[in-house]
Amino acid sequence: MQVPLWFALLVVGYLGVKLIRPPAWLIAVLLLGGFLLADSVLAPAINSLIK
């Protein structure tokens, strides 16, 4: 069974928030940090590490 990546991330994120209950500021920092890193000069380096 193939599941779209966005759906899998949504489910994992939802379960993580419901089960672990991290503070709202931590969620905001992680989302904003990931968004900013994806558009930075570090993006190619991160991409090569992931692949």
For 24-34, write each residue's pLDDT tens digit. Answer: 999 999 999 98
User: Residues 6-20: what's their mean pLDDT?
Assistant: 93
> Which residues 6+ apart lie within 8 Å of 3 measured at CB?
none
User: Coil, strand, or helix at residue 41?
Assistant: coil
Give the pLDDT score at 25: 95
Q: How confident is the model at residue 45 (pLDDT cuts 50, 70, 90)?
A: confident
Report the C-alpha gap between 12 and 5 in whole angstroms.
Answer: 11
pTM score = 0.66
**Most distant CA atoms of the chain, gap in Å:** 36
Q: How confident is the model at residue 49 (pLDDT cuts 50, 70, 90)?
A: confident
